[in-house]
Chain A
Amino acid sequence: MAAEDRRVPVLDSAGPAAPPRKNGELVFEALWQGRLFGLTMALHEAGRFEWEEFRQRLIAEIADWERRQAGRDAGWDYYECWLRAFSSLVAAKGLCPADLIETRVRELAARPPGHDH
């Protein structure tokens, strides 16, 4: 269950240093975006939520971001909206309570430097 075990080789092709993809553009800009995308799809395919439930949350997060940013033009991160939508969905579905997520984030952040790269 060590974190590095889950960094499977195939993901190297999605990292910042990866060659362009078939369509000339990287599919994901960062490793975590691909993992999050795959995680969302996997949980959906496992029958844990309807896609529309997620989509509505994603739409709301994007609209919320746009309201907060009105007039400004910095820091757009589509997958950050995705992350918020997914976190709130799994919490609402009782699959993963928010406080558990916060605890785990703090644990992961407390790892020695270099561990998570």
Chain B
Amino acid sequence: MADRHQHDHDPAEENALRAEALESLLVEKGLVKPEAIDAIIRRFEEDMGPMNGAKAVARAWIDSAFRARLLADPSSALGELGLPRFSGVPIVIVPDAAGVHNVVVCTLCSCYPSDLLGLPPSWYKSPPYRARMVREPRKVLAEMGLDLEDEVEVRVWDSSAELRYMVLPERPAGTEGSTEEELAALVTRDSMIGVARPRGPHEVRGGG
């Protein structure tokens, strides 16, 4: 490290150089094509995202038969909605109910239902979230703004390479007259990870 060039790089710059070096070498060797990398980034940024999970949740809220299928056989139920499945990893949908709150974590790395939620947010990958959500979920949830009554049972689901989890939150009160599309707009990414409730019907319009 002592013998550096005229301008030293900070760690972020060092990482950027290293990533660029890897890409250029692997491309030169013909092992990957830059266009394939572009396509993958686009897929993760545009095709995969919480709007997919939200679609499934909203349908489950209005259609109890679909809800039953979604819980029993998630992959085929998601297929009914035409939602893209990019990974072959099985998913389990864990439904909230009166007195039961579910939350998802990956204690070892960052396994996450990307098909349905996109890429995980940075806090999901952070050491404190991964370590503490298992140990003291109630406290972590409160810190994230979700206070649960003492009698509510908190179930923490630890994702793995073999199995991913998504939370099916409870339908917010006051949404009896809402359309499926309006309902989907209430379903946030965080509510499907289990660290927040869906928005209320009055929090959508004009909200930011």
Residue A92 at the chain B interface, CB threshold 8 Å: no
**In the bound complex, what is the Cα–Cα distance between A101 and B119 (angstroms)?**
28
A-B contact count (CB 8 A): 160
Contact B16 A11 (CB under 8 A): no
Contact A42 B22 (CB under 8 A): no
How many chain A residues touch B (Cβ–Cβ < 8 Å)? Answer: 65
**In the bound complex, what is the Cα–Cα distance between A54 and B11 (angstroms)?**
23
Cβ-closest chain A residue relative to B131:
A66
B103-116 contact mask (Cβ, 8 Å, vs A): 1 or 0: 00000111000000
**In the bound complex, what is the Cα–Cα distance between A90 and B25 (angstroms)?**
11
Identify A35's interface contact among B11, B19, B44, B125, CB under 8 A. B19
A23-43 contact mask (Cβ, 8 Å, vs B): 1 or 0: 111011111111111110111
How many chain B residues touch A (Cβ–Cβ < 8 Å)? Answer: 49
**In the bound complex, what is the Cα–Cα distance between A55 and B164 (angstroms)?**
15
Contact A83 B20 (CB under 8 A): no
Q: In whole Å, how far is B7's beta carbon from the nearest beta carbon of chain A? A: 6
Asked, given contacts A30-B16, A39-B26, A101-B21, whether A62 binds B108 with beta carbons under 8 Å apart, the answer is: yes
A1-40 contact mask (Cβ, 8 Å, vs B): 1 or 0: 1010010101101100000011111011111111111110
B14-58 contact mask (Cβ, 8 Å, vs A): 1 or 0: 111111111111101101111011101110110001110000000
Instruction: For chain B, residues 50 to 68, give those with C-beta under 8 angstroms from any C-beta of chain A.
Output: 50-51
> B: which residues have CB within 8 A of A?
5, 7, 9, 11-12, 14-26, 28-29, 31-34, 36-38, 40-42, 44-45, 49-51, 108-110, 117-119, 121-122, 125-127, 161, 188-189
